[in-house]
Amino acid sequence: MTNPLLSPWTAPFGLPPFAAIRDEDFGPAFDAALAEARGNVAAIAEAKDAPTFANTIAALEMAEAMLDRVSGVFYNLAGADSTEAREALMRDLAPKMSAFASEVTNNKALFARIDDLWARRDALGLTAEEMRVLTLYRRMFVRSGAELTGEAAERLTAVKSRLAVLGTQFGQNLLADEREWFMVLAEDDLAGLPDFVVASARAAGAERGQNGPVVTLNRSLIVPFLQFSPRRGLRRQAYEAWVARGANGNDHDNRAIAAEILALRDERAKLLGYDSFAAFKLEPEMAKTPDAVRGLLMRVWEPARKKALADAAVLEAMLEADGEAGPLEPWDWRYYSEKRRKAEHDLDEAALKPYLSLDAMLGAQFDCANRLFGLEFREIAGPFYHPDVRGWEVTRRGNHVAVFLGDYFARSSKRSGAWCSAMRSQKKLGGDVRPIVVNVCNFAKGEPALLSYDDARTLFHEFGHALHQMLSDVTFGFISGTSVARDFVELPSQLYEHWLEVPEVLEKHARHWQTGEAMPADMLKRLLAAGTYDQGFATVEFVSSAMVDLAFHEGAAPADPMAKQAEVLEALGMPRAIRMRHATPHFAHVFSGDGYSSGYYSYMWSEVMDADAFAAFEEAGDPFDAETAAKLETHILSAGGSEEAELLYTRFRGRMPGVEALLKGRGLLDAA
């Protein structure tokens, strides 16, 4: 039987043949794709012709085309719809893919060709984009150990292979803990819960094979349960299970894995000549140094902590007024904060959600993209990789731009969180390749699906990433879309969140799912007025996580990461009723791969820019100002990694921003 992953794809828009792909197709497809890639790379390295940009760098760009195609399908499915077979293959692939990457960057003949081009770069007549790609290729090879020889080179290869295995294991352990735990609720336990939470709990129970409602560790269910359940004992049981993910002393415990990962990262950095892994990791980012990261985080930490402690005193008084014994505990914060929000802002999430159906908010995100960038969205039929997935063709002025897939509902086969990925990235080398972009969220399924305001913000956030992919307009896939500095990649996503706060957007799209009536004007006003509510809590839980991440990687690797975590939090003066957003054993951003290691701060670094970037529209007097939107697309969304991030932002805004816009946006200026 022909392997559908290796055959030509004839579906509309070059979509993968999802219905024909079986789990057992992936292994042979990877074997064939890796063999083809190895052959192509060897041919480039061993070529007798003198190195040119075309026969070396451009050829490398094309060398892994089949591997990119197979990987684009597999890794999207493995994260969004795991099976035992896919998880087993991920474990098998981790060392294989690492070994292949090391083979390429350790190929001395290949690096010699790149180095020769680098030495002659000014005489090659390269375009600006070609010069950038050459620069990044050489940097990638050097940072991957291309200049190492002998035992050092061999050890680095072994370290990277082991890190790939451990990162995969960390993520699978976390998914296993999230999949296996649930708390059965008796009918009496539903007292005080809004209808949408009850409906979500019943749906989760049905998915888990139970006859009644359950609470799972999915954020879209456990957070509203913590917000609304008046039963303190149940809140505590659910919360403690949530924060114990990856630290239950079972086969899925991640604490020893985290320690080994940190030790290996430190060794990797030392082999490459850096003082610490943080110094190595931050060198190509906008921040450049650990000191710059700490400076930003501490500038925000003090006012956030001050605000959080003041809020904690108010919430503890509410707790005691309920006849409960203090002190305020982490499983109490969301419950009393929700009561306070309702009292102070007259905002009831249960009353708000009917105006924020998933379909309405999808309409809002598409409408904003149309008004800003002229994009049109037409829903298309599947089949896609799961029945929950929806698809749209994206066009502009009648021309095909991209395919956009949305996978929005929580399920036990999907890892937690929300993300954007590309099954196929935009590029022009070898033909005009248009992207297939995927947004994945974990909203509670319902008829219809009703979102919290935070859910709607997540929807817009991930769509901002999608726009970065869809509007990419570069020649080389190596710098396409979100292939930018880690502390720049969150700018488009966080910037797009601002359009959810534009009153005219909610006036148009926030409509009751049953009656079609617009959100009442007074409710909309209260919603927007509460935009900075509880930002002390949100900022403290984020910054504490970022500071722990930085501390893990800045000096010698801690033998006991949990002890180091406790030490950092004590030094910060962490409020006792708030925990890190991501404790070490379930800090997937940092330990499931290298992506955000030493880089969790990136969200806040980008937030400094996104607050300033949206101010450009405000200064123009129109959140949909055409000239500003065109500049945003030209200098950021379409540019990919074609230049250093500072240059791209400065071209858009004329300067780099200060931290004040961030503090103002979070309502923390008064506490600063």
DSSP for 146-204, written as a single string: TT--HHHHHHHHHHHHHHHHHHHHHHHHHHHHHHH-EEE--GGGGTT--HHHHHHHHHH
Cis check for the bond before 623: say yes or no (omega within 30 of 0).
no
Residue 427 has what DSSP assignment? Answer: B
Residue 136 tokens read as: 């990044």
Which burial class, exposed, middle or buried, applies to 431 when counting CB atoms under 10 A from its CB (0-12, 13-18, 19+)?
A: exposed
DSSP for 546-606, written as a single string: HHHHHHHHHSSPPS-HHHHHHHHHHHHT--TT---SS-GGG-HHHHSSSTTTTTTTHHHHH
Residue with tokens 């009917």: 354
DSSP for 225-271, written as a single string: HHHH---HHHHHHHHHHHHTTT-SSSTT--HHHHHHHHHHHHHHHHH
Distance, in Å, from the CA atom of 462 to the CA atom of 374, rounded to the nearest integer, reads 19
Which burial class, exposed, middle or buried, applies to 192 when counting CB atoms under 10 A from its CB (0-12, 13-18, 19+)?
A: exposed
Inter-residue contact 510 to 356 (CB < 8 Å): yes
Neighbours of 47 (CB within 10 A): 16
DSSP for 14-25, written as a single string: G---GGG--HHH
Distance, in Å, from the CA atom of 175 to the CA atom of 150, rounded to the nearest integer, reads 39
Distance, in Å, from the CA atom of 287 to the CA atom of 297, rounded to the nearest integer, reads 12
Q: How far is CA 232 from CA 102, 235, 238, 504, in A?
A: 52, 5, 10, 40
Distance, in Å, from the CA atom of 540 to the CA atom of 304, rounded to the nearest integer, reads 6
DSSP for 443-482, written as a single string: EPP-SS-B--HHHHHHHHHHHHHHHHHHT---S-GGG-TT
DSSP for 41-52, written as a single string: HHHHHT-SSPP-
φ/ψ of residue 622, rounded to 5 = -155, 120
The residue count for the chain: 672
Name the catalytic one among 61, 285, 462, 607. 462
462 is catalytic: yes
Inter-residue contact 29 to 3 (CB < 8 Å): yes
Catalytic positions are: 462
